[in-house]
Structure 1
Amino acid sequence: MRVITLLLVSWVLLLASQSAQSSSSTLLVLGDSLSAAYGIPQENGWVSLLDQKLTQQTMQQLKNVQVINASLSGETTSGGLQRLPGLLAQHQPAYVIIELGANDALRGQNLNQTQRNLAQMIELSQQQGAKVKLLGIRLPPNYGPAFDRRLAQMYLQLAEEYQVPLDPFFLADVALNQELMLDDGLHPNAAAQPIILARLWPQLQAWLTE
């Protein structure tokens, strides 16, 4: 009888473990240096901080989200589009954050092509059943207001067309504060990362649980 009881307990624990594993979901972050912790320790980046915060949540739906950071410094929308099919196949994400477009704009690339690339990434993700969120960026003043407005308009058009949530400028709380930026004036430093996450967290919390 004791052996049967132990077997039953083991069986229940195994089922519970399998259930917990099956209920986990993956959040894929596809970005550039702004999400790749450029110039700072990887564990200090906002994506790593997000991963840590999710594991601390009491709501199981949030606690079970596993973060995969596929961001690369220097990444463009063309590069992201090339990598995305493999990432989707490998990780099967339930959620995809796309934070790309800054390097296209900084290099003066045609934003019509950038928009098409982002559109294809959204479509690929949605075809796989993933929910998508866009993170937009703005340009330094020396690039001119017209180009910056076109970039902002691009993100808004994509968000409206594909009905995906957008943060139009996810660095808004840090970009104009020199104490929160690296010497290049383009990348947020380690002190800025918790501030970035604090801005994004309410949005992400609602998005992940809706």
Structure 2
Amino acid sequence: MSGGRTAALDDRVLPAWLRLLLTCAWLALAGCGPSPPLAPLTAGSSVLAFGDSITFGTGAAPGDDYPARLAAISGWQVHNAGIPGETADEARGRIGAAIAEARPALVIVESGGNDFLRRRPEAAVKEDLRAIVAAIRASGAQVVLLAVPKFSLLGAATGRLPDSPIYAELAKEEKLPLIAGVLAETLSDPRLKADPVHPNGDGYRKLADGVAEQLRRAGLLKKP
């Protein structure tokens, strides 16, 4: 009997449950290996900050928004494409035009807060974000998600606003860098807020510092 025949016979005599377990383990190892390190963007690179009023800078003076502060930290040319009041499904419709205008090497996506306030299903918000990610990738740019907290009465009362789980889920599914916890931590501190849902100038400074630090960890921003 040939070696190939013996191998086939041995595979058949394995219990079905064991074959399934081995197959699943192989697929998990194949899909979950360490991602290659990302190359830092050079000074002057075009970066698109895409989002809603948090990206726009509502609650702070002009120039105190987080994209402007990130530009000062990184040396990148950061385009502020934030629109107050915008939902993720609306953002989905304009991502193409924003990319065409900025021609970015990297897009930082912050969206979903207005959807949560309007009680849109989180599953629908997640799919809007997935479509935005797909459009960015199709352009050749890299994409990073900035997690947004889901506001609740309990969170407001306790001063602790956790990230909505859809961001970590989507980042894992799409193998994306995730900026986690920074916005939630900022909005959990009354001293850093202009109103219940927007940072003040100090809050945007903290947000920009946190975004920069996590971009360094992801390999996209050089360490100082």
Q: TM-score scaled by structure 1?
A: 0.75
Do structure 1's residue 92 and structure 2's residue 84 form an aligned pair? Answer: no
Give structure 2 stretches of 5+ with no counterpart: 1-42, 156-160
One-letter code aligned to 2:74: L
What is the aligned-residue RMSD (CA, Å)? 2.3
Quote the Cα distance in structure 2 between the aligned partners of 1:185 and 1:209.
31
How far the C-alpha of 1:40 sits from its partner, in A, is 1.6
How far the C-alpha of 1:168 sits from its partner, in A, is 2.7
Counterparts in 2 of 1:131 and 1:177: CA distance versus 1, 3 Å:
same
Identity %: 29
Counterparts in 2 of 1:24 and 1:176: CA distance versus 1, 3 Å:
closer
One-letter code aligned to 2:207: I
Quote the Cα distance in structure 1 between the aligned partners of 2:53 and 2:221.
27
Do structure 1's residue 155 and structure 2's residue 167 form an aligned pair? Answer: yes
The equivalent residue for 2:47 is: 27
Quote the Cα distance in structure 1 between the aligned partners of 2:197 and 2:131.
27
Counterparts in 2 of 1:124 and 1:195: CA distance versus 1, 3 Å:
same
- Asked if 1 retains the 8 angstrom alpha-carbon contact of 2:57 and 2:65, the reply is yes
Which of 32, 40, 61 aligns to 2:60? It is 40
One-letter code aligned to 1:82: G
Counterparts in 2 of 1:209 and 1:48: CA distance versus 1, 3 Å:
closer
Do structure 1's residue 123 and structure 2's residue 134 form an aligned pair? Answer: yes
How far the C-alpha of 1:209 sits from its partner, in A, is 4.6
Q: Secondary structure at 2:185's aligned position in 1?
A: coil
Which of 159, 179, 182 aligns to 2:191? It is 179
Quote the Cα distance in structure 2 between the aligned partners of 1:193 and 1:92.
25
Structure with higher Rg: it is 2
Q: Secondary structure at 2:63's aligned position in 1?
A: helix
Counterparts in 2 of 1:114 and 1:173: CA distance versus 1, 3 Å:
closer
Q: Secondary structure at 2:55's aligned position in 1?
A: coil
Quote the Cα distance in structure 1 between the aligned partners of 2:98 and 2:196.
31
The equivalent residue for 1:6 is: none
